[in-house]
Structure 1
Amino acid sequence: MNKLKILNDPIYGFITIPNSLIFDLIQHKYFQRLRRITQMGLSYLVYPGAHHTRFHHAIGCVHLMQKAVNILRFKGVTISEEEETGLYVAILLHDIGHGPFSHAMENSIANNVSHEEISLLFMERLNEEFNGSLTLAIKIFKGEYPRKFMYQLISGQLDMDRADYLKRDSFYTGVAEGNINSERLITMLNVVDDNLVVEEKGIYSVEKFIVARRLMYWQVYLHKTSLVAEQLLIRVLKRAKELFDDGNNLKASEPLLYFLKNKITIDDFDEKTLEIFSQLDDYDIISAMKHWQYHNDFVLSNLCEMIINRNLLKIKIKNKTIKVSSLKKHQVALMEEYKISEEEAKYFVFTGNISNQAYQLQTEGINILHKSGKIEDIVKASDQLNLKALSKPVTKFYICYPKDKL
């Protein structure tokens, strides 16, 4: 078979698959599953175009990584063929552990197991299948490879993951504020003492990148409607688990039933559990909710109906913490209206907080390489005053409650 396929991407145009290992990994059922997992969870309830998948995103990341490798080699950075393949594999598989609806389900399906941990389990499993050809990629992914800039390309403040998702999410949502010039950013990359730096000429592109990230978080990722829909989805699974624990039977696909019936932690993620997890995607959750909206449990049926028909809770976002009295007021009203318990009312009336930090100063920052050879953090190098402000976390508080009738 001809494994040097070309894919047509709406953002970058033609993308070439760099080698046969990448082709075989893309063909694998674990990776094909990403076609059935939306990149932005339930954001399509706000932005109707946001139906793109993790599959799109991972392929886009490989394309940007190819550009980065070529640019760095052109500037005299030695990257062996083995390292090059390692970088492609690591970025291709960096999100393979995402569960249904991406971040919404992160801790709902398994107990406190992050998608990065599951990604690593998938990579180790694939490494066995591909006779150890992913060993270097796993080292880079875990940050154990001595050449630090390679890890920074996978997971840093200016990595290929962010360079793709900001551009892609802005394209599919139609939110122009997030449209960064990822090609220019990559062209400005260099390596000094095995650390990734951006040449001075690229300083404005980096400023735009940080500002775009802030705007995308407030306008898209933390949009109040996406937020309330995501919270409802988390509560659907929580309620389904409760009903199972009380001996109720629910209709759902076999993989979903397995995670509802069992309490799964990272220690329980053996080969069998990983295989079952690999069969889970958005469709399992949607089809389960289509059944459950007619269930006789007041909480489960109402939560599912809200998501299926986009008849969501009202949400208010404030700069100060929500008063307990206002939470109680809504809970009591709901309990009296529907003759339900306080525990049940808490599914429909709740508070929480969201925070946005566009740039993390404490962790490894984005370093600017001046013509003189001096290296300094973007916050110091930039004459844009608000970059320092953008490195402080901003926290907001929200309260959700029914509009009038459930």
Structure 2
Amino acid sequence: MERLALTPMSKGNAMLQEEKVFKDPVHRYIHVRDQLIWDLIGTKEFQRLRRVRQLGTTFLTFHGAEHTRFNHSLGVYEVTRRMIEVFKGHPHWNEDDRLLCLTAALLHDIGHGPFSHSFEKVFETDHEHWTRAIILGDTGVNAVLRRMGDEFPREVADVIEKIHPNKLVVSMISSQIDADRMDYLQRDAFYTGVSYGHFDMERILRVMRPLEDQVVIKNTGMHAVEDYIMSRYQMYWQVYFHPVTRSAEVILNKILRRAKALYLDGYAFKQTPVHFIPFFDGNPTIADYLKLDEMIVFYYFHTWEEETDAILADLCRRFLHRRLFQYVEFTQHFIMNEWSGLKERFKAIGVDPDYYLVVDFSSDLPYDFYRPGEEEERMPIHLLMNDRNLHELSRESEIVEAISGKKRTDHKLYYPQDILHTPGQEDTKREILEILSN
């Protein structure tokens, strides 16, 4: 292990006497040389990420997907650190931005909660809001960051929020080819056991170049970038939008909605859900948010299995014991012509369609060129040609051109197939199955 002198680097930071190294299955090693980074990793807010899975309900589909936001955050930090090593000495790279990049990379997911996206939908909150609140609030993370100056936490938050004036730094953490994506694609592929998400990251890092407002790729690295784009495309449709994962997410969403509705109706829980009450009431503090992790959520799901409310108890049993909903593909024609009749038949057999009949949409745009004026303007990937001019990737790559700007959308209808095969009201259940099979 490399021995380093304790040397001041800048206000509030020093080099560690001995480099810290994390063994990592994706990047082999993650290197920490800065006291600031080491202290941020040690904060309770960052350690909480050990108790939040990276892929939410995906572990119910791919049993190895138990990795956490903690794993991923360290990985994004490491990819960014390697980018900076490549950028050293290039005209548009300012070494004074090094710690800003590294801290933003490390903390970019600090605001994620348990089963993040389902949780956010139900409680109308946003992990980006909590990321900023944790970085700027009365937290251990903020105390460590302020050692670099009172404005440093705000700069870090602005980079993560993509509003910092230094567009180069922002693009390293968040763009169509960034440290975040390069880590999660490989990490998620590794832990799910699939082959789709692998690409030659080392090659991409070697051909990355910093410009004033973005990271660009030397044209000699175009084929490695094509591979990266296709890896992302495959991961979304084979892993992230897997129908079994979506079924589990649908049930999770309905559990949280049912618990919230019961609380607002004055239902007397056998065990008061104290951790959820601030979210049911709509006024959680940072302290409330940081107390919630997936261990806490699972605890309540176990207790809710024993609730007298049949819907909440059933949904919790389904989630905990993997008795998931079945699904069918559907079209807009189906919604227009069959939806209302299907809901009425569900009510007729005593099944609440608000909790047991769910329309779900999945969509992804694997790569896009620049579309000025759109709500989310995506900076395209640019190739640095031999004459020093920039060419947008899809102008040079037929593979990328074929999928560029094309959003793919998936429509599925989820329902409890097991209920439709139980004794009683067979005629109505047969009608439901006929509708679903068309």
Same fold (TM over 0.5): yes
1:182-205 Cα offsets, whole Å, 9 max, x none, are 222122111233321111011011
Q: Tell me the equivalent position of 1:389.
A: 403
Which structure 2 segments of 5+ residues have no match?
A: 1-15, 372-377, 421-438
Instruction: Give percent identity, aligned residues only.
Output: 28
Q: Given the alignment, which residue of 274, 285, 289 partners 2:297?
A: 285
Q: Tell me the equivalent position of 2:277.
A: 257
Q: Tell me the equivalent position of 1:49.
A: 64
Say if 2:199 and 2:227, in contact at 8 Å, map to a contact too.
Answer: yes
Residues 245 and 142 of structure 1, relative CA distance in 2, 3 Å threshold: closer
Distance 1:319 1:140 in 2: 41
Verify: 1:174 aligned to 2:193, yes or no.
yes
Verify: 1:366 aligned to 2:385, yes or no.
no
Q: Tell me the equivalent position of 1:37.
A: 52
Verify: 1:93 aligned to 2:107, yes or no.
yes
Question: Equivalent residue of 2:225, what SS?
Answer: helix
Say if 2:92 and 2:212, in contact at 8 Å, map to a contact too.
Answer: no
1:336 deviates by 3.0
Letter in structure 2 aligned against 1:246: D
Say if 1:321 and 1:397, in contact at 8 Å, map to a contact too.
Answer: no
Q: Tell me the equivalent position of 1:195.
A: 214
Distance 1:114 1:132 in 2: 28
1:59-83 Cα offsets, whole Å, 9 max, x none, are 00111011000101144443224x1
Letter in structure 1 aligned against 2:204: L
Residues 323 and 139 of structure 1, relative CA distance in 2, 3 Å threshold: closer
1:397 deviates by 1.1
1:149 deviates by 1.0
Verify: 1:222 aligned to 2:241, yes or no.
yes
1:11 deviates by 1.1
1:345 deviates by 2.5
1:335-357 Cα offsets, whole Å, 9 max, x none, are 333x35xxx32210121321121
Deviates more, 1:118-127 or 1:371-380: 118-127
Which structure 1 segments of 5+ residues have no match?
A: none
Distance 1:252 1:118 in 2: 25
TM-score when normalising by structure 1? 0.90
Higher relative contact order (CA 8 A, sep 6+): 1
Letter in structure 1 aligned against 2:74: I
Q: Given the alignment, which residue of 147, 168, 175 partners 2:166?
A: 147
Distance 1:96 1:335 in 2: 42
* Aligned residues between the structures: 390
Verify: 1:352 aligned to 2:360, yes or no.
yes
Verify: 1:404 aligned to 2:418, yes or no.
yes
1:332 deviates by 3.6
Residues 318 and 202 of structure 1, relative CA distance in 2, 3 Å threshold: farther
Distance 1:189 1:36 in 2: 34
Distance 1:128 1:3 in 2: 25
Residues 310 and 2 of structure 1, relative CA distance in 2, 3 Å threshold: farther
Deviates more, 1:134-143 or 1:160-169: 134-143
Equivalent residues in 2 for 1:240-279, closer than 5 Å = 240-250=259-269, 251=271, 254-260=274-280, 262-264=281-283, 273-279=285-291
1:324-378 Cα offsets, whole Å, 9 max, x none, are 44434543443333x35xxx32210121321121012232111111111120111
Distance 1:46 1:399 in 2: 18
Distance 1:156 1:97 in 2: 19
Question: Equivalent residue of 2:37, what SS?
Answer: helix
Residues 2 and 231 of structure 1, relative CA distance in 2, 3 Å threshold: farther
Say if 1:167 and 1:182, in contact at 8 Å, map to a contact too.
Answer: no
Say if 1:315 and 1:401, in contact at 8 Å, map to a contact too.
Answer: yes
> Larger radius of gyration, structure 1 or 2?
2
Q: CA RMSD in A?
A: 2.0
Residues 377 and 85 of structure 1, relative CA distance in 2, 3 Å threshold: same
Residues 377 and 226 of structure 1, relative CA distance in 2, 3 Å threshold: same
Say if 1:316 and 1:399, in contact at 8 Å, map to a contact too.
Answer: yes
Letter in structure 1 aligned against 2:198: N
Letter in structure 1 aligned against 2:110: I
Q: Given the alignment, which residue of 81, 84, 89 partners 1:66?
A: 81
Distance 1:147 1:39 in 2: 28
1:387 deviates by 3.1
Deviates more, 1:94-103 or 1:63-72: 94-103
Say if 2:134 and 2:142, in contact at 8 Å, map to a contact too.
Answer: no
Deviates more, 1:274-283 or 1:97-106: 97-106
Distance 1:87 1:370 in 2: 26
Residues 212 and 128 of structure 1, relative CA distance in 2, 3 Å threshold: closer
Distance 1:42 1:4 in 2: 36
Equivalent residues in 2 for 1:78-157, closer than 5 Å = 78-81=93-96, 83-108=97-122, 110-111=123-124, 113-125=125-137, 126=139, 128-130=142-144, 131=146, 133=148, 134-135=152-153, 136-157=155-176
Distance 1:301 1:329 in 2: 27
Q: Tell me the equivalent position of 1:15.
A: 30
Residues 99 and 322 of structure 1, relative CA distance in 2, 3 Å threshold: farther
TM-score when normalising by structure 2? 0.84
Question: Equivalent residue of 2:417, what SS?
Answer: coil
Q: Given the alignment, which residue of 313, 319, 322 partners 1:301?
A: 313
Distance 1:252 1:5 in 2: 43
Deviates more, 1:3-12 or 1:163-172: 3-12
Q: Tell me the equivalent position of 2:224.
A: 205
Distance 2:253 2:57 in 1: 12
